[in-house]
Structure 1
Amino acid sequence: MTDTKKIYFASDQHFGAPTPEKSFPREQKFVAWLDEVKKDAEAIFLLGDLFDFWFEYKTVVPKGFVRVLGKLAELRDSGIPIYFFIGNHDLWMDDYFEKELNIPVYHRPQEFTFNNKLFLIGHGDGLGPGDKGYKRMKKVFTNPFSKWLFRWLHPDVGVRLGQYLSVKNKLISGDEDVKFLGEENEWLVLYSKRKLETKHYDYFIFGHRHLPMTINVGENSKYINLGDWIGYFTYGVFDGKNFELKEFKN
């Protein structure tokens, strides 16, 4: 990294929820953020749930999101590296981003080193103790046979069904507030502490919880949750020395 460049992180935009019309202002705000950070971005990390539902047929992807996809293509074409980690709402992402946008897609947490600082980066779903019901469900949904069965649904049926089920998620529909559970009950905090038992990381960067958080999990180690672009509009920035959570107020 150079002294004038920064690395940016964002997660949980859930575009398309609860409806395309209500999601549209958030898409515009996110595009404005991309326009802002491109001025000094060394790289951009998107940590999942960019879409509230995403499924790739062999020749079809869900329509919409053209401004977001176009802006990502513009930034990639300008030479800015972008990395995408799938979340629990877009876990059926395949190779569309890689082939169309030249954006690598990761299905599990990955290590990155910036300025001698070691990062562990991922979406965060299904990590740590507990949440056994979701972990079982995820195994079913990511099974190649399940994807093959779903692909037999006509896109007009499959996409509408997927969007309906995704919006029924209590977090997105607004039926349930997300609350901090305390360090002893936050699964990603426990996961981070367990990882530190065998290896040192300077930063654990995750999304999924929809709550902006910075928590010390060890000596010189921090767990950071990026929040979301539904109620907080928060993002992370690493300037080569320090990591900071910020709110985009455009």
Structure 2
Amino acid sequence: MQIPTEKKIYFASDNHLGAPTKEASLPREKKFVAWLDEIKDDAAAIFLLGDLFDFWFEYKTVVPKGFTRTLGKLAEISDAGIPIYYFVGNHDLWMDGYFEEELNIPVYHKPKEFTFNDSTFFIGHGDGLGPGDKGYKRMKKVFTNPFSKWLFRWLHPDLGVRLAQYLSVKNKLISGDEDIHFLGEENEWLVQYCKRKLEEKHRDYFVFGHRHLPLNITLNETSKYINLGDWISYYTYGVFDGKNFEIKEY
């Protein structure tokens, strides 16, 4: 992708809309929608790196109630011809066609490489990558198993969504959430993951969410690991102008 002059690529992650309650997250949602409305004029593309919702599950004919402002704004931007890309997180693992069909937004379940101008990006949510976190990795295999999803669909949505929302907030193993304090490069699993990926192939930027911490870490002379932070405590986002990548606060 070539970025036109005066255009930028924007990145955001970890809104967790609906947590701890829909009422409590409404001001955050309005702020996020205002940001989307502000950036649409100079956005060449928008990347959303997961956990937009604190819980999301798609039944055959039902999706979770709410989030009308966000979905409407995404539809407006997509309809205007601005590409939006979505990477599922550990709280919205169960996306299954709704974004593609209703919003024309491609959804990715694994990290993916992109090239913008002459810079290569490796982009994903970040959950379950790198060494450690074995409990969550086992749990993720259970949750993403087609049979497990089939069983969950047999729960009435009122019961299934309420149960999942409760577990999302209360159970850190299920949610996959990590300590949101910087642990040092040697203990940050995503830093170790990026360094291993660099042994296979050069990338200029590794961009992830999940950690809820805005981080900009130099991996070597030409590669950086970026974590976007969140829209709960930091309201941070990434912006690439074709030459430089910055983390900004809204």
CA distance in 1, matches of 2:137, 2:98: 25
CA deviations on 1:203-235 (whole Å, 9 max, x unpaired) are 000000000000001221000000000000000
1:88 maps to which residue?
90
What SS does the corresponding residue of 1:218 show, helix, strand or coil? Answer: coil
Aligned-pair Cα RMSD in Å: 1.5
CA distance in 2, matches of 1:87, 1:64: 19
The 5-angstrom pairing of residues 36-47 of structure 1 reads 36-47=38-49
CA distance in 2, matches of 1:168, 1:98: 30
The 5-angstrom pairing of residues 65-104 of structure 1 reads 65-104=67-106
CA distance in 1, matches of 2:130, 2:26: 34
In the alignment, is the contact (CA less than 8 A) between 1:44 and 1:83 conserved in 2? yes
1:237 maps to which residue?
239
1:121 maps to which residue?
123
| Structure 2, unaligned runs of 5 or more | none
Report how many aligned residue pairs link the two structures: 246
CA deviations on 1:112-170 (whole Å, 9 max, x unpaired) are 00011000000000000010110000000000000000000000100111111112146
CA distance in 1, matches of 2:68, 2:167: 23
TM-score, scaled to structure 2: 0.96
Q: Which moved more, 1:10-19 or 1:162-171?
A: 162-171
Residue type matched to 1:59 in 2?
T
2:139 maps to which residue?
137
CA distance in 2, matches of 1:64, 1:163: 14
1:187 maps to which residue?
189
Q: Which moved more, 1:177-186 or 1:29-38?
A: 177-186
What SS does the corresponding residue of 1:61 show, helix, strand or coil? Answer: coil
What SS does the corresponding residue of 2:9 show, helix, strand or coil? Answer: strand
Return structure 1 stretches of 4+ with deviation > 6 angstroms.
none
Q: Which moved more, 1:51-60 or 1:176-185?
A: 176-185
- Closer/same/farther in 2, CA of residues 134 and 193 from structure 1, 3 Å limit: same
CA distance in 2, matches of 1:35, 1:186: 34
State the Cα distance separating 1:2 from its structure 2 match: 1.4
TM-score, scaled to structure 1: 0.96
Residue type matched to 1:142 in 2?
T
| Structure 1, unaligned runs of 5 or more | none
Residue type matched to 1:168 in 2?
K
CA distance in 1, matches of 2:171, 2:233: 16
CA deviations on 1:64-116 (whole Å, 9 max, x unpaired) are 00000000000000000000000000001110000000000000000000011
In the alignment, is the contact (CA less than 8 A) between 1:196 and 1:218 conserved in 2? no
Please state if 1:149 is matched with 2:163: no
From 17, 33, 36, give the equivalent of 1:34: 36
In the alignment, is the contact (CA less than 8 A) between 1:55 and 1:93 conserved in 2? yes
What SS does the corresponding residue of 2:217 show, helix, strand or coil? Answer: strand
Residue type matched to 2:144 in 1?
T
Please state if 1:213 is matched with 2:220: no
Identity, in percent, stands at 81
In the alignment, is the contact (CA less than 8 A) between 1:226 and 1:235 conserved in 2? yes
CA distance in 2, matches of 1:27, 1:167: 18
Please state if 1:18 is matched with 2:20: yes
From 36, 39, 62, give the equivalent of 2:64: 62
What SS does the corresponding residue of 2:200 show, helix, strand or coil? Answer: coil
In the alignment, is the contact (CA less than 8 A) between 1:121 and 1:205 conserved in 2? yes
2:50 maps to which residue?
48
